[in-house]
Amino acid sequence: MGSTHSTNHGRVVLNHSTHIPGLIPILQKLSTHPQIKTLTPAVITCGRSNAPKFRLKSSVPIRGGFKLIARKGKSIQEVFVITDLSAEQLAAAIEAVI
């Protein structure tokens, strides 16, 4: 099983040894939001375009939350979020911590 990082509200599940640089500190900040329950970084892939600055945006709704896409350089990582927030509220929470 993966290890977890607990906070007052949500948790960040650390189940991979590799993450996009800068992703975990942002997820830890995001996990302090009272309506975010779990953040789980998932698969990393390589994209064709280059994203010089770290980006995190909502992708598609999933059962109980959303899938986010984190990008930095040519790396792309999926992040699954279990939350009661709407897409707009989640986008605002992401903007507040980046």
Which pLDDT belongs to residue 1? Answer: 45
Mean pLDDT by 10 residues, the chain (98 residues): 55 86 94 95 92 93 96 96 96 94
Whole-structure pTM value = 0.85
- The answer to whether residue 4 is domain-embedded is no
Can you state the percent helix, strand and coil of the chain, rounding each to 5? Answer: 20, 55, 25
Query: Encoding tokens for residue 60?
Result: 């598609």
Neighbours of 82 (CB within 10 A): 17
Which pLDDT belongs to residue 60? Answer: 95
- The answer to whether residue 70 is domain-embedded is yes
Which pLDDT belongs to residue 42? Answer: 94
Neighbours of 13 (CB within 10 A): 19
- The answer to whether residue 89 is domain-embedded is yes
- The answer to whether residue 86 is domain-embedded is yes
Query: Encoding tokens for residue 78?
Result: 């999926």
- Give the domain range for residue 51: 11-96
Q: How many domains in the chain?
A: 1
Which pLDDT belongs to residue 36? Answer: 95
- Bridge partners (DSSP) of residue 60 are 67
- The answer to whether residue 1 is domain-embedded is no
- The answer to whether residue 35 is domain-embedded is yes
- The answer to whether residue 3 is domain-embedded is no
Compute the distance between CA of residue 19 and CA of residue 37 in angstroms, rounded to an integer.
20
Q: ∠ CA 9-71-90 to the nearest 5 degrees?
A: 35
Which pLDDT belongs to residue 8? Answer: 58
- The answer to whether residue 90 is domain-embedded is yes
